[in-house]
């Protein structure tokens, strides 16, 4: 078992007071906000793109995920230097500002820029929520609380497609973003009043000097370069074009330089070398990346299948996804609770990988003419496995590490998850766009402004096409999506292989005394803000 530093303190049968549960409620509201936005926007995307007359639809999702990934390592660093509450407040304000700008967007460029601002806050919310939970609850107990948080996330993901479809179908897609403002306000109030976690000493100037600005510049520029190459490849330029190869090479090399700098030269590293010193933590990181990459392909492109191949309107598309969204929640809870109950995580992870591979493999056989019940039901197995993996990949990452590494370890965990989402959206888009150019009738492509690259703008029109063109286009979408599902199966198999390298490290029962919640006496617990 890994050793734990002197800042750790035993946390056995700790009483949970009202302030603890109000902080936890604030975390759940914040995560509900982030998950609802993600799932709602993806289902409404064809209508939004059609309304704004845009062509770069990929960047609506990519800009959000790019900003999340680029700033996520910084969120862990900021939480260590400025304190959890200050970092969380900044994340919520950034998300609210981005939501307001998205709702008022007048063009695709405006919306993409606003999604970038929103992504900075949304990504930080995910990592900071995990960090705060790790401050308050030991790893032995954390599965229960992760299950509760996962249930909140899953409920938001379940209703998001229907909410998004309802707003979009009625021409009110801007309210997808405006609805975030009152929810952000409620979360902000709970965080300001009750998140009474310690604030590190020092002046603002001293704290800014401790930030890893060189590391931040490296990870932001490298991630941006890599995403540009992935987004342009096969869509705007051939994969062999210098305009694609150069950004890809610069991005990959830049990320390598970033990790080298962090481990060798950074005085306050965002990604300490400690995170890469054991195979169990590395296995957890790889599993997290592979599962996130595969599941995001599902969430982002299932609406394309239902709307383009099954003639579903946005609301109906959201309902058709209930086979995924209402299954994943209970299995996230199961994954978390089972770890707490049995104090092991490897059997659950292996079961999750097997279920995911079988479910994704089953869906790869679904076509445009498949019975709707089968199309809706088959992904449920994938969702069950994905739910377990989302809840449990967290444990092999943290179990071998000292509790003082929690913030950096969890920020990097969230970074990999967001980075996986970027790859899912951009690779999926490249596969789909290139395949559509191959399968769509050439005379039909000639009538589309922007050609096959303007995929999302044509989806709402498919159901209105005359026969036999309508059937030909539906079949083209089905054939074009199939390689994407095959890719997801391959990624899931890689995740399963990575899981074979983790050891059975016991879950420790410590929290970091440095960040322990400040307890109030019973008479003042709710009467005074922290």
SS (H, E, C) 392-449: HCHHHHHCCCCHHHHHHHHHHHHHHHHHHHHHHHHHHHHHHHHHHHHHCCHHHHCCCC
Q: What is the pLDDT of residue 525?
A: 43
Say if 350 falls within a structural domain: yes
E strand or H helix that includes residue 8:
strand 8-10
Total domains in the chain come to: 1
d(C-alpha 449, C-alpha 390), whole Å: 40
Return d(Cα 387, Cα 437) in angstroms, integer.
34
Residue 491 belongs to some domain of the structure:
yes
pLDDT at 385: 92
Q: Which portions of the chain are predicted below pLDDT 50?
A: 1-8, 10-12, 520-530
Angle between helices 406-439 and 58-82 (to 10 degrees): 170
Residue 443 lies in a domain: yes
Residue 193 and residue 525 in contact, taking contact as beta carbons nearer than 8 Å: no
Contact assessment for residue 391 and residue 146, using Cβ atoms and an 8 Å cutoff: yes
- What gap in Å lies between CA 289 and CA 446, rounded to an integer? 38
State the Cα–Cα distance between residues 28 and 34, nearest whole angstrom.
Answer: 10
Q: Is residue 387 part of a domain?
A: yes
Does a structural domain hold residue 225? no
Residue 221 counted as domain residue: no
Give the model's pLDDT for residue 332: 86
Q: How far is CA 449 from the centre of its chain?
A: 32
Per-residue pLDDT of 33-46, as tens digits, reads 888 887 777 777 77
pLDDT at 489: 93
C-alpha 259, offset from chain centre: 22
Domain membership flag for residue 231: no
Q: Please provide residue 393's backbone torsions phi and psi, each rounded to the nearest 5 degrees.
A: -65, -20
**What CATH number did the domain enclosing 77 receive?**
1.20.1250.20
In the prediction, which pLDDT does 456 show? 62
Asked whether residue 226 is domain-assigned, the answer is no
Structural domain that includes position 466: 17-198+267-515
pLDDT of residue 350: 96
DSSP structure class, residue 461: G
């Amino acid at each position: 078992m890994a050793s734990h530093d002197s800042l750790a303190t035993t946390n056995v049968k700790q009483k949970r007071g009202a302030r603890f549960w109000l902080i936890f409620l604030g975390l759940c509201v914040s995560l509900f906000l982030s998950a609802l936005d993600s799932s709602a926007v993806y289902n409404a995307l064809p209508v939004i793109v059609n309304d704004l007359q845009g062509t770069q639809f990929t960047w609506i999702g990519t800009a959000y995920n790019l900003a999340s990934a680029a700033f996520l390592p910084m969120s862990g660093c900021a939480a260590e230097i400025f304190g959890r509450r200050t970092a969380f407040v900044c994340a919520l304000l950034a998300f609210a500002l981005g939501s307001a700008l998205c709702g008022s967007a007048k063009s695709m460029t405006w919306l993409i820029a606003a999604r970038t601002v929103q992504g900075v806050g949304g990504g930080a919310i995910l990592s900071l929520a995990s960090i705060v939970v790790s401050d308050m609850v030991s790893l032995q107990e954390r599965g229960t609380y992760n299950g509760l948080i996962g249930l909140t996330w899953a409920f938001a993901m379940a209703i998001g497609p229907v909410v998004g479809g309802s707003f979009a179908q009625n021409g009110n897609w801007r309210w997808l973003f405006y609805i975030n403002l009152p929810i952000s306000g409620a979360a902000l109030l709970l965080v300001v009043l009750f998140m009474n976690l310690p604030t590190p000493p020092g002046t603002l100037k001293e704290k800014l000097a401790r930030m890893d600005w060189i590391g931040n510049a490296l990870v932001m520029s490298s991630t941006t370069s890599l995403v540009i190459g992935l987004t342009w490849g096969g869509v705007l330029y051939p994969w062999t074009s210098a305009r694609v190869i150069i950004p890809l090479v610069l991005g990959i090399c830049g990320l390598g330089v970033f990790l080298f700098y962090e481990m060798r030269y950074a005085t306050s590293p965002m990604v300490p070398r400690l995170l890469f010193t054991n195979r169990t933590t590395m296995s957890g990181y790889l599993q997290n990346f592979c599962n996130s990459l595969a599941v995001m392909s599902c969430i982002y492109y299932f609406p394309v299948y239902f709307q383009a191949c099954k003639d579903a309107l946005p609301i109906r598309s959201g309902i058709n996804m209930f086979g995924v969204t209402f299954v994943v929640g209970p299995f996230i809870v199961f994954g978390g609770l089972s770890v707490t109950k049995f104090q092991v995580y490897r059997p659950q992870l292996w079961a999750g990988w097997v279920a995911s591979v079988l479910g994704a493999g089953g869906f790869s056989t679904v076509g445009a003419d498949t019975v709707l019940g089968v199309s809706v039901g088959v992904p449920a197995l994938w969702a069950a496995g994905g739910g377990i993996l989302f809840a449990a990949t967290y444990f092999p990452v943290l179990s071998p590490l000292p509790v003082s590494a929690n913030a950096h370890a969890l920020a990097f965990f969230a970074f990999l998850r967001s980075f996986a989402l970027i790859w899912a959206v951009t690779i999926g888009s490249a596969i789909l766009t290139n395949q559509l150019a191959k399968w769509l009738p050439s005379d039909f492509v000639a009538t589309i402004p922007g050609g096959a690259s303007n995929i999302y703008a044509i989806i709402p029109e498919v159901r209105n096409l005359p026969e036999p063109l309508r059937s030909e286009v539906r079949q083209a979408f089905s054939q074009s999506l199939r390689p994407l599902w095959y890719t997801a199966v391959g990624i899931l198999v890689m995740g399963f292989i990575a899981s074979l390298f983790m050891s059975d490290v016991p879950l420790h029962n410590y929290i970091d005394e440095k960040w322990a919640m400040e307890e109030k006496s019973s008479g003042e617990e709710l009467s005074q803000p922290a």
